[in-house]
Amino acid sequence: MLRFVLYITLLLAPFSLYAEQPKDWQLGFQKAASGHMEDLVWFHDFMLLPIITGITVFVLFLVIYACIRYRASRNPIASTTSHNTLIEVIWTLVPCLILILMAVPSFKLLYSQDKIPPADVTIKAIGYQWYWGYEYPDENIVFDSYMIEDSELQPGQPRLLSVDNEIVVPVDKVIKVLITANDVLHAWALPSFGVKRDAVPGRINETWFKADRTGTFYGQCSELCGIKHAFMPITVKVVTQEDYKKWLDDAKEKFAKQENKLNLSLAKITLEDKIK
């Protein structure tokens, strides 16, 4: 009995108790961490779900009513009616009106995601088989982000979602994400921010988000990209402006672009020497 009460309490507990990642037996979306995702959740919960439920219940009622009312024993001589203009007009117009009703918030959401406000921070995400590479073009920072293997997980790090180098961004700032890929199609997706964009080789897609609270948020590659598709997670750490500045100072030393370039050219020279 006690266990039952505990289960019910857990089920009814507010979602804010949950961490920013998928949960066992989770129903619905992850908790929104951006205004855009809140709008998406509203659209789903208060527009799509009521419409879907209403149509399903109505059709079910019609089917059950027809089965009972027009069964052979009660209705031995079947009607030969084949047209009814009024009903045909209704069943054409009502779905049209429902679609028009849904289109208004739907287009609003689409355009709000498409129109990128002036960005405070720009990040470039590059999909590779099978990890993500990141650049902060304005800060001269470049690094790769690999999933942490099960054997190396620290306490509190979720399996298949934690990475060695996570992206760090400031809270309440517009983050523009440029997304591309180096080999095959990938997709950069972060459910809590309502963000999902394909990473296409030779093309740059862009999107944006504005996190409204600090925390660590997890996403995954969302385009089947090969054998290790499930093992290239995305981790975004949202921190305060001061912490972001501190991280930036460290990262500029740790992940300086110049160094990488130097390493690359050194590798090239060594390779050329070997070939000779």
Per CB under 5 A, residues contacting Cu ion are 186, 221, 225
Q: How far is the CB of 218 from Cu ion (least distance, A)?
A: 15
Q: How far is the CB of 204 from Cu ion (least distance, A)?
A: 17
- 216, containing H or E segment: strand 215-221
Q: What is the C-alpha to C-alpha distance for residues 174 and 121, in angstroms, rounded to an integer?
A: 7
Measured in residues, the chain has a length of 276
Q: How far is the CB of 180 from Cu ion (least distance, A)?
A: 12
Question: Is the Cβ–Cβ distance between 163 and 133 less than 8 Å?
Answer: no
Q: How far is the CB of 130 from Cu ion (least distance, A)?
A: 6
In 82-202, alpha helices (H) = 85-114
Q: How far is the CB of 234 from Cu ion (least distance, A)?
A: 10
* Closer of 173 and 229 to Cu ion (Cβ): 229
Amino acid identity, residue 47?
A: M
SS3 237: strand
* Closer of 31 and 186 to Cu ion (Cβ): 186
* Closer of 141 and 189 to Cu ion (Cβ): 189
Q: What is the C-alpha to C-alpha distance for residues 221 and 271, in angstroms, rounded to an integer?
A: 33
Q: How far is the CB of 185 from Cu ion (least distance, A)?
A: 8
* Closer of 189 and 221 to Cu ion (Cβ): 221
Q: Which two tokens stand for residue 128?
A: 């590779």
| Nearest of 138, 210, 208, 133 to residue 164 by alpha carbon | 133
Q: Per the omega criterion (within 30 degrees of 0), is the bond before 130 cis?
A: yes
- The three-point CA angle 159-161-163 to 5° equals 105
* Closer of 36 and 186 to Cu ion (Cβ): 186
